[in-house]
């Protein structure tokens, strides 16, 4: 079996906000998935990019994090690639709420649901 990883160098300036960040996420997720065609995606959904995080250095809003996860899940779903999301980073009290909001958004959009899991297990 083959184990590969997406390796793209994407540089962001300190304090980069939602617009530039989300554009780069979209461009590079789409590009990488068109090149690699993986059997599964392990997605590290870190939240240290949140505005005000002492380590991340970016200025991404809570809505930007929710949108980032949506972009990644839509790309995976459109290609029928299973995705495992893990969380990491994020050193603010509000991080847990943002992660919960993102998961609720993914569920409400039909990007994660019981039916998808069930249908994937049958194939």
Whether 85 shows a pLDDT value over 50: the answer reads yes
Boundaries of every domain in the chain: 18-109
Q: Which residues contact 54 (CB under 8 A, 6 or more apart)?
A: 91
> Looking at the predicted structure, is the pLDDT value of residue 19 above 50?
yes
The chain-wide mean pLDDT, for the chain, equals 89
What are the tens digits of pLDDT across the range 28-46?
999 999 988 889 999 999 9
Of the pLDDT bands very low, low, confident and very high (cuts 50, 70, 90), residue 116 is: very low
Mean pLDDT of 49-64: 94
Tokens of 7: 């390796």
Q: If we measure between CA atoms, which residue out of 38, 40, 61, 57 comes closest to residue 48?
A: 57
Kindly tell me if the per-residue pLDDT of 55 is higher than 60: yes
Cα separation values, 84 from 6, 35, 69, Å: 15, 20, 12
Q: Rounded to two decimals, what is the model's pTM?
A: 0.87
Q: How does strand 41-46 pair with strand 83-88?
A: parallel
Identify the bridge partners of residue 50 per DSSP, sorted by sequence position.
60
Q: Is the pLDDT of residue 93 over 70?
A: yes
- Distance from the Cα of residue 123 to its chain's centroid: 25
Q: What is the dihedral of CA 18, 23, 25, 28, to 10 degrees?
A: -160
- Do 106 and 73 form a contact (C-beta atoms < 8 A)? yes
Return d(Cα 47, Cα 40) in angstroms, integer: 22
């Amino acid at each position: 079996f083959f184990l590969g990883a997406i390796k793209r160098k994407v540089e962001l300036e300190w304090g980069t906000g939602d617009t530039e960040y989300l554009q780069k996420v979209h461009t590079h997720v789409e590009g990488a998935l068109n090149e690699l065609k993986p059997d599964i995606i392990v997605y590290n959904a870190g939240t240290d990019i949140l505005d005000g995080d002492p380590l991340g250095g970016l200025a991404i809003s809570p809505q930007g994090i929710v949108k980032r996860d949506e972009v990644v899940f839509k790309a995976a779903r459109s290609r029928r690639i299973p995705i495992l999301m893990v969380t990491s980073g994020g050193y603010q009290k509000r991080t847990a709420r943002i992660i919960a909001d993102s998961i609720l958004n993914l569920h409400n959009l039909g990007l994660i649901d019981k039916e998808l899991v069930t249908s994937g297990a049958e194939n």
